[in-house]
Copies of this chain bind each other. A is one copy, B any other.
Amino acid sequence: MFKVRTGQTNRPQQSTDYSIGGRIWVQKDGELYLGWGRVILLEKIEELGSISAAARAMKLGYRNAWLWIEAMNRLAPSPLIEKRVGGQRGGQARVTEEGRKAIARYKEIRRLFQEFIKGIS
């Protein structure tokens, strides 16, 4: 619908690459619960087993990572991330079953959204 070429007008010939962009998220009572950045953070924690390593890997400030996790855990039916404290390997974190479900649901929503955008472009 938005693929037009201004070469058809009396303007200088050039390609005009209009495209549709968008964002999609899950909210609870108007507060952001799951978005693309948060889901990447969950996946990185699952991969690396640590919040600080995950934040570093996605160039996210450690404080922001903590705030995102605090919000997700608070808004979820049950926590998405469990922090393991103490012991020789203190500072570790893991994604719970609820967290894995949240990742899968959000990615499905995002896939459908990308299909939708492709369909109307």
Contacts and interface: CB of A to CB of B under 8 A. Distances in A.
A46 B20 CA distance: 24
A85 interface: no
A25 B21 contact: yes
B105 A112 contact: no
Interface centre among A11, A22, A120 (most CB of B within 10 A): A22
25 contacts: A1-B105, A1-B109, A2-B105, A6-B77, A9-B77, A11-B77, A11-B78, A17-B28, A18-B28, A19-B27, A19-B28, A20-B24, A20-B26, A20-B27, A21-B24, A21-B26, A21-B27, A22-B22, A22-B24, A22-B113, A23-B23, A24-B117, A112-B116, A112-B120, A113-B116
Interface of A: 1-2, 4, 6, 9, 11, 16-29, 33, 77-78, 105, 109, 112-113, 116-117, 120
